[in-house]
Amino acid sequence: MTTIYDIAKAVGVTQTTVANALAGRGNVSEATRKRILQCAQDMGYRPNVLARGLAKGKTSTIGFLLPTIANPFYPEIAEEIERITHVHDYQLLLCNTHHDYALGRQNLERLVSRWVDGIIVMGSSMDLVDLVHQFEHGLPIVLCNWQENEPSPGIPQVNVDFRLAGELAAHHLLALGHQKIAIIVDEPQQTTRFAGFRAALLSAGIPLQDEMIQLGDSTIESGHAAARTLLTSPQRPTAIFATNDWMAIGALEAAREEGIRVPEDLSIIGLDNVIVGAHISPPLTTIDIPKHQLAKKATELLMRQIDGDRDQAQSILIPPELLIRHSTAVPSSATMGDAPSLPVR
Amino acid sequence: MTTIYDIAKAVGVTQTTVANALAGRGNVSEATRKRILQCAQDMGYRPNVLARGLAKGKTSTIGFLLPTIANPFYPEIAEEIERITHVHDYQLLLCNTHHDYALGRQNLERLVSRWVDGIIVMGSSMDLVDLVHQFEHGLPIVLCNWQENEPSPGIPQVNVDFRLAGELAAHHLLALGHQKIAIIVDEPQQTTRFAGFRAALLSAGIPLQDEMIQLGDSTIESGHAAARTLLTSPQRPTAIFATNDWMAIGALEAAREEGIRVPEDLSIIGLDNVIVGAHISPPLTTIDIPKHQLAKKATELLMRQIDGDRDQAQSILIPPELLIRHSTAVPSSATMGDAPSLPVR
DNA sequence: CTGAAAGCGCTAACAT
DNA sequence: ATGTTAGCGCTTTCAG
């Protein structure tokens, strides 16, 4: 590896001059600058960011903690954050925690050891306690999509209004005329969307029955298993809200296996708006999470913190939107004469 | 940030002793070791990996370049590589190149600047020329799933036998009795699987027609568009091989839109065996790529290189496997009496 | 068993 | 406009 010292020697000047020339500081004569740049090029010089980080106490690196890139919801956000951070000349360090708090802490410590300038953490990826600890020690942190209403002691965050998300799902199903409604939820991670859903049903006079609540862990398989339980019970629901698309896809699969048609005999609505959801059969009705906006705001908040703008405990809330496709419809068993018609976009 | 010097001061010894104690070298008395470890714990000491990397000339970091984590094929591999590297106490640096060679080079240079100990590069993510350059300068590199038969001048690689993959797809469709067969391929990235497919058809006496070849770019949308073209042509095929699952899902969607039943009126076979493919309707027949094996071998090869085992230009070839699900079947228009029956697993 | 000192490649005052 | 110097936190000889 060639260093600035090598260049200095070759050109016949000192380190400082090379450093200045390379950094584009004005105090170098045009002639020597040219020679230096040329030489750097020839020798294939690459600055050593370790040395720079050590000297400056800043690494231009930010960490990004998420549960798993296996659920395509996260890659959509991760790629956007990567894009933005690159524009600002930061390098992104991606870490999967696999919903494992121990792994989350380990990853966090790795990042701290690397002197990252800040981190963005997605909900369900780790224990808030560990984060608070680092935050109080001065590490810039932004909570993104933090599940759900956990108190965040002064840590800036950008969130989706999950309560509203749950309400939107409920209202959609209610508007279609459903009465026997079930939910598949990843508890306690996704408790707010659950609460919103439940409250909306309740205020419509259709309280959610206990046996209509099934737990999942956000994977396709868990959605599949939960739906299976729901669909083989005597009290079979006519509509299911899966609190993420991945589980909704599993539910879709279970319905198919049971010979239950979607949306004719069963409506399924997800949450996330994962790209593939639009391309399967039937195209999945879902609650859209504005992922790019989430990524953008989170990165902005972090950059601001890194630039010294601490302690203005920002908390941004982004509204989700109902996205009607074809996995939801008026219940076929709707005997009531005033069944509302199905709006489709 | 507390440093070993802080600890030294607190305990009343010198840096060296602290370093030795922390590194677990034997030359420290049990008494002082205990005090040091205790103190480190109390002060929340975290080693600075930048400083360590600088001093040792080794960063325990490896880079991983891939096209995009938006296609779930890659996350499945990435997570496995991350897992293995963590076991070996390496940190993984993930970089998306978005199939953009300029971005790929930029990412590569970033990694080099970070003094990564080595990199793993997945096919279609960047220009081989840039890699060769770094490799010749001594950077350990492993090519993983490198598309397809590009010459790799001495760089170790682990590949899937894509030619066989193409043949397997062809043989499956032929065995079912298909005659009007089409392909959707991401050229020139996926040329080997294409070649295998084409050759197998040819030797069965059913050469692939030019109008039965459509190009895609590995996205769902491109598969969708390509299939649409195929399915609306007068010479509509009875079977389509999409060279990756993502495009196959797009093709499935196109068929649905055209009112063409799969697999009754149209067989579709993909390649990758992406998890979600098993859970959609109909479950996708595909060629399985042993991703974990790929990840494992690639990491092994890299570790070996890092440990000094250069220049044994290894090249590992892993065989793919046919995975029959429900998107392929005997063509309904099969008027021949000896249509083979459909094996399903 | 413990300490002193040099050095990794770079930045950042402070000279000249 | 260029040079000198110290220092970032750690590892690594080499001495005591």
> Residue A343 falls within a domain, yes or no?
no
Quote the tokens at residue A313.
């405990």
CA angle A173, A177, A181 (to 5 degrees): 50
- Among A30-34, B158-162, B174-178, B256-260, the minimum mean pLDDT is found in A30-34
> CA-to-CA distance for A253 and A280, rounded, in angstroms?
11
Kindly indicate the confidence band of residue A309, based on its pLDDT and cuts at 50, 70 and 90. Answer: confident
Q: Please indicate, yes or no, whether residues B208 and B330 belong to a single structural domain of this protein.
A: yes
Can you tell me the mean pLDDT for B149-173? 89
Please indicate, yes or no, whether residues A304 and A285 belong to a single structural domain of this protein. Answer: no
Q: Which residue type is seen at B222?
A: S
Chain B residues with beta carbon closer than 8 angstroms to that of A257: none
B112 in the same domain as B38: no
**Same domain assignment for residues B148 and B223:** no
- Residue A300, domain member (yes or no): yes
pLDDT in tens, A96-135: 999 999 999 999 999 999 999 999 999 888 999 999 999 9
Could you tell me if residue B54 is inside a domain? no
**Is the same domain home to B218 and B284?**
yes
Span A272-301, pLDDT tens digits? 999 999 999 999 999 999 999 999 999 999
Model confidence at A149, in pLDDT bands (50, 70, 90)?
low
Q: How many CA atoms lie within 13 A of A80 on its CB side?
A: 17
Query: If pLDDT is split at 50, 70 and 90, which confidence band does B345 have?
Result: very low
H or E stretch at B286: strand B285-288
| Domain harbouring B302, CATH code | 3.40.50.2300
Q: Do A113 and B49 touch (CB under 8 A)?
A: yes
Are residues B28 and B86 both part of a single domain? no
Q: Is the pLDDT of residue B98 over 90?
A: yes
- Same structural domain for residues B249 and B284? yes
What torsion do the CA atoms of A116, A122, A127, A133 make, to the nearest 10 degrees?
40
Q: Residues with Cβ < 8 Å from A147, sequence gap 6 or more? A: A123, A124, A162, A189, A190, A191, A192
Q: Which domain holds residue B227?
A: 162-289+324-336
Mean pLDDT of chain B: 92
Residue A140 within a domain: yes
Question: B284: which residues sit within 8 A by CB, 6+ positions away?
Answer: B245, B248, B249, B252, B268, B269, B270, B277, B278, B325, B327
User: Model pTM?
Assistant: 0.93
Would you give the DSSP letter of residue B301? H
Residue B345 lies in a domain: no
**Domains in chain B, number:** 3
% of chain A exceeding 70 in pLDDT: 93
- Asked whether residue B66 is domain-assigned, the answer is yes
For the record, the structure tokens of A282 come out as 């039937």
Residue type, A117: D
pLDDT value of residue A195: 96
Same domain for A145 and A109: yes
- Same domain, yes or no: A89 and A176: no
CA distance A236 to A229: 9
The two tokens of residue A321 are 């939107």
User: Nearest nt to B46, CA vs C1'?
Assistant: D9
Q: Indicate if the pLDDT at residue B192 is higher than 60.
A: yes
Residues A329 and A246 in one domain: yes
Asked if A281 lies within 8 A of B252 by C-beta distance, the reply is: yes
Judgement on whether residues B150 and B216 belong to the same structural domain of the protein: no
pLDDT at A287: 98
User: Using a CB-CB distance cutoff of 8 angstroms, which residues of chain A are in contact with residue B75?
Assistant: 68-70, 72, 75
Where helices occur in chain A by DSSP H, the ranges are 4-11, 15-23, 30-42, 49-56, 73-87, 101-113, 128-136, 162-176, 191-203, 220-232, 245-257, 291-306
Where on strand C do bases come within 7 A of a protein Cβ? 1-5, 7-13
C-alpha A282: how far from chain center: 25
**Whether pLDDT at B344 is above 50:** no
Query: Å from B52 (CA) to D16 (C1')?
Result: 26
CATH number at B15 reads 1.10.260.40
Q: Retrieve residue A208's tokens.
A: 């959610």
Q: Is the pLDDT of residue B39 over 80?
A: yes
Residue B105 lies in a domain: yes
For residues B141 and B160, give the distance between their C-alpha atoms in angstroms, rounded to a whole number. 18
Measured between CA atoms, the residue of chain A closest to residue B107 is A91
A274: left (phi over 0), alpha (psi -120 to 50) or beta: beta
B96:A79 CB<8 A: yes
